[in-house]
């Protein structure tokens, strides 16, 4: 108890210095937590993937389509209990910077395969009835103010022309990690237009989503699908939805790695600041440490004092940083809109923040402790800080 009192008093001796150090720690833990959350947001698609869904696409690359006739053949493969298909539309809403994912989907089968997109029955029925209807996610609707009945014009880039869609439903996510920034419309509408304007491009599908009865059979069913179409004009590549999403992450892996590295750099910076603070405190108090030693206190007690102070400051700063992360992340997510469809703070991030602060506190106290325990009493009493 007495020791704790002494530590507290020591920490408050230089109010300005301690306050600045705490402020630095708050900024660092906050930045670290935010960067970790950004990296997490990158993996959101992969983390939300279901393990009973496979994605089949053209083996050459995603820009090549597959024939519509594959649907029935995939359905006939053992272990498959649902097939849907879709096309990436890639249209522009007003201007290129308003990017959000748009898919032309095989209406009913697609929505059945994705139970995490929660759409009430009336809206779903209205969407299914209207050829030009579309469904938008809650987050997307919030960003651009889409309401039921609005007409959304999109300029086609892959599929030329001016397209118009009527909002018939707004879906919500089943849980916090569901992506609600997407835009769905009828594949049939797209196909009819293609039949009129560019016949060779009609009856082509961008990707198939396949539901399997048993998640353990993912590998064998994938192989069965790919063997089915081997040596055809459009060979397929089938993988689990998670692997498919991770493929996108790995494309921009260099950026993810850079953000990860940089998030640790900020911890190193603050470690230098904290170590500096502790080194100064110890230097100023050498005479006191010598006095304590002369009174008979051992090196263990000095170590307790210095480590205690360092950890106290570090953990106090970190606690503030962690507390601030929630409002800051919320504001950041609101500002970024659909760029990060899912922006959730993972429990692991909070743990990492805490561990980082602990490390900073411990590392910062090492050098001053060594110095104070080694100092011999006569020299210490002579020192003038």
Partner 1 sequence: MKLPLSYIARNLWTRRLTTALTASGLALVVFVFATVLMLDEGLRKTLVTTGEYDNVVLIRRASETEVQSGVYRDQATIAASHPSIALGADGEPLVSKETVVLIALNKRGTDKPANVVIRGVGKLGLALRPQIRLSAGRMFRPGSSEIITGSGIAKRFSGTAVGETLRFGQRDWTVVGTFDAGNSGFDSEIWGDADQLMQAFRRPVYSSVIVRLNDSREFDAFKKDIEGDQRLTLEAKREQSFYADQSKALSTFISILGMTLSIIFSIGAMIGAMITMYASVANRVAEIGTLRALGFRRRSILAAFLAESLLLALIGGAAGLFFASFMQFLSFSTVNFQSFSELAFGFTLNPAIVIKSLLFALLMGFVGGFLPALRAGRMKIVDSLRAA
Contact between 276 and partner 1 per CB under 8 A: yes
Residue reference for tokens 């209205």: 126
Q: Which of residues 66-85 bind partner 1 (CB under 8 A)?
A: none
Q: Would you mind telling me the total number of residues written for the chain in this entry?
A: 385
Q: Which residues contact 135 (CB under 8 A, 6 or more apart)?
A: 117, 119, 123, 127, 167, 168, 169, 170, 171, 183, 184, 185
- Per rule CB under 8 A, is residue 125 in the interface with partner 1? no
DSSP string, 216-252: GGHHHHHHHHHHHTTTSSS-EEEEEHHHHHHHHHHHT
345 binds partner 1 (CB under 8 A): no
Q: Does 315 bind partner 1 (CB under 8 A)?
A: no
Pairing, β 183-186 against β 53-58 = unpaired
The contacts of residue 253 (CB under 8 Å, 6+ apart) are none
Question: What is the SS3 assignment for 105?
Answer: strand
CB of 332 to partner 1, least distance (A): 10
Q: Find the largest Cα–Cα distance for the chain.
A: 97
C-alpha span between 111 and 48 (Å, rounded): 16
Stretch that binds partner 1, among 13-21, 121-129, 212-220, 347-355 (CB under 8 A): 13-21
* Radius of gyration (C-alpha) of the chain in whole angstroms: 30
CB of 250 to partner 1, least distance (A): 5
From candidates 3, 9, 64, 132, binder to partner 1 by CB under 8 A: 64
- Contact pick of 76, 153, 298, 385 for partner 1 (by CB under 8 A): 385
Rounded CA gap, 30 and 132, in Å? 45
C-alpha 77/C-alpha 225 separation (Å) is: 7
Report how many residues bind partner 1 under the rule CB under 8 A.
51
CB 324 to partner 1: min, Å = 13
Interacting residue with partner 1 among 6, 39, 224, 279 (CB under 8 A): 279
CB of 77 to partner 1, least distance (A): 23
Q: Does 156 bind partner 1 (CB under 8 A)?
A: yes
Nearest-approach distance from CB 335 to partner 1, in angstroms: 12
- Please report whether residue 327 would count as binding partner 1 according to CB under 8 A: no
Q: How far is the CB of 21 from partner 1 (least distance, A)?
A: 7
Instruction: Give the binding site for partner 1 (CB under 8 A).
Output: 16-17, 20-21, 23-24, 27-28, 31, 35, 59-64, 90, 96, 155-158, 160, 200, 231, 233, 237, 247, 250-255, 259, 262, 265-266, 268-270, 272-273, 275-277, 279-280, 284, 367, 385
């Amino acid at each position: 108890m007495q020791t704790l009192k002494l530590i507290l008093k020591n920490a408050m001796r230089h109010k300005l210095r301690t306050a600045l150090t705490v402020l630095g720690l708050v900024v660092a833990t906050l930045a670290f937590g935010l960067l970790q959350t950004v990296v997490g947001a990158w993996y959101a698609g992969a983390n939300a993937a279901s393990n009973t869904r496979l994605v089949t696409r053209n083996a050459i690359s995603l820009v090549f389509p597959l024939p519509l006739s594959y649907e029935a053949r995939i359905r006939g493969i053992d272990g498959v209990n649902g097939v849907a298909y879709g096309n990436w539309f890639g249209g522009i809403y007003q201007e290129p910077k308003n990017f959000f994912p748009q898919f032309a989907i095989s209406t009913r089968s697609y929505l059945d395969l994705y139970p995490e997109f929660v759409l009430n029955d009336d809206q779903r029925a209205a969407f299914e009835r209207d050829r030009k209807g579309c469904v938008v996610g809650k987050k997307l609707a919030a960003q651009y103010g889409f309401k039921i009945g609005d007409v959304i014009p999109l300029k086609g880039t892959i599929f030329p022309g001016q397209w118009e869609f009527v909002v018939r439903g707004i879906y919500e996510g089943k849980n916090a990690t569901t992506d609600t920034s997407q835009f769905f419309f009828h594949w049939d509408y797209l196909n009819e237009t293609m039949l009129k304007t560019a016949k060779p491009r009609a009856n082509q599908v961008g990707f198939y989503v396949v539901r399997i009865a048993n998640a353990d059979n993912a590998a064998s069913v994938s192989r069965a699908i790919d063997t089915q179409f081997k040596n055809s004009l459009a060979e397929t590549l089938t993988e689990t939805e998670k692997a498919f999403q991770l493929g996108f992450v790995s494309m921009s892996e260099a950026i993810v790695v850079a953000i990860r590295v940089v998030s640790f750099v900020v911890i190193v910076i603050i470690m230098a600041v904290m170590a500096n603070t502790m080194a100064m405190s110890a230097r100023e108090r050498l005479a006191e440490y010598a006095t304590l030693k002369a009174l008979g206190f051992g090196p263990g007690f000095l170590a307790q004092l210095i480590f205690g102070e360092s950890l106290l400051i570090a953990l106090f700063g970190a606690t503030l940083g962690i507390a601030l992360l929630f409002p800051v992340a919320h504001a950041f997510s609101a500002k970024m809109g659909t760029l990060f469809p899912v922006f959730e703070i993972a429990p692991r991030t909070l743990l990492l923040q805490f561990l980082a602060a602990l490390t900073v506190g411990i590392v910062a106290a090492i050098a001053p402790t060594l110095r104070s325990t080694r100092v011999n009493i006569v020299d210490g009493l002579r020192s003038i800080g």
